[in-house]
Amino acid sequence: MTQITDTTTDDVVVEITDEARTVVADALAAEPGADDLALWLEVRGVEAGRFTYDLFFQAAGDAGDDDVTYVVDGVTVVVPSGSVSRLAGARLEFSADGGGGLVMVNPNVPSAQEIAPGVPEEVLAQGIAGPLAVRAIATLEAEVNPSIAGHGGRADLVAMDETTGVAYLALSGGCQGCAMSRQTLSQGIEVSLRDAIPELTGVVDVTDHAQGANPFFEN
C-alpha cells in the first residue's frame, strides 16, 4: 500500500503504487520549477465505453477550491472537481507492457448517458443484447472494424432500438473528430450494417467528435 504523507486517507482519490510514484517523481524532478508543480489526474472523456484520462504536470496553486489536493510520498496530486467521483477508488500503476508506462485502474465506468449522449432513455434501457443488436455487433466486429482499423478507427454499438430498427454508434480512435467520419459512416459502416441487417432503418452517430484528435465539430 502506498504511504500517504501530509494528508489523510480520506483525502486520497487515486492511489499511486510505489513503482508509479517513482516514475512520476523522476519525471517531475526533470521539470523546470518542479517544487511548484503537481501531478494532475483527470477524466478527459469517454471512448469505446471507457473513460480516457489526462495525466500532466501543472502548478499546484492552480487548483480551485472544489478540486481535491493531496500528497503521496512527496508528490502533490490534484484531481479536478469534475473528475473526483469518476476517479474515486482508482489506482495509478506502472505497467511494463508495450515498453512501459502509467496505467489507470479504475473501478468506475461511464454512465449510459456519458457513453451515448442524446440516446433516448427508453432505447438505452433496451440494452444491446436484443436480436438486432447482436447482429449489428457481429457485423461491426467481423466486417467494419477490420476495415477501418488501418487508420486507427473503431465503431461500437452503444444502443439499438429493437422496435424501430435504429442503431446508435460511437466512433473512436482515428474516426473520432475525423472530417471524413460522416462519409465513413454513411457510405461504409451504414451500408455494411444494412446489407447484413435488412430490418435496420437508420444509423445515428452519437460520437463526441469535439473530443477527437482532429475535431471538426465546435461546442
76-109 residue pLDDT tens: 999 999 999 999 999 999 998 877 899 999 999 8
The predicted structure's pLDDT at residue 176: 43
Higher pLDDT, 1 or 59: 59
Same domain for 74 and 22? yes
Rounded distance between C-alpha atoms, residue 14 and residue 160, angstroms: 35
| Share of residues in the chain with pLDDT > 90 (%) | 51
Same domain for 118 and 104? no
Lowest mean pLDDT among 20-34, 135-149, 196-210: 196-210
Instruction: For the chain, state the CA radius of gyration.
Output: 21
1-39 residue pLDDT tens: 333 344 444 589 999 999 999 999 999 999 999 999 999
CATH no. for residue 70? 2.60.300.12
The predicted structure's pLDDT at residue 48: 62
Same domain for 16 and 101? yes
Residue 218 lies in a domain: no
For 51, the domain range is 9-108
The predicted structure's pLDDT at residue 187: 60
DSSP characters over 162-197: TTTTEEEEEEEETTTT-TTHHHIIIIIIHHHHHHH-
Q: Where a domain ends, among 76, 108, 140?
A: 108
Same domain for 151 and 204? yes
For residue 91, list its beta bridge partners.
15, 105
For residue 92, list its beta bridge partners.
16, 104
Residue 169 lies in a domain: yes
Higher pLDDT, 131 or 127: 131
Same domain for 152 and 180? yes
CA count, 13 A, side-chain hemisphere, 189: 31
Residue 31 lies in a domain: yes
**Is residue 134 predicted with pLDDT exceeding 70?**
yes
Ramachandran angles phi, psi of 44, nearest 5°: -85, -35
Q: Where a domain ends, among 60, 89, 108?
A: 108
Same domain for 82 and 149? no
| pTM of the complete model | 0.61
The predicted structure's pLDDT at residue 160: 93
| Strand locations in the chain (E) | 14-16, 37-47, 50-59, 68-72, 75-79, 90-95, 101-105, 153-161, 166-173, 202-205
Rounded distance between C-alpha atoms, residue 55 and residue 23, angstroms: 13
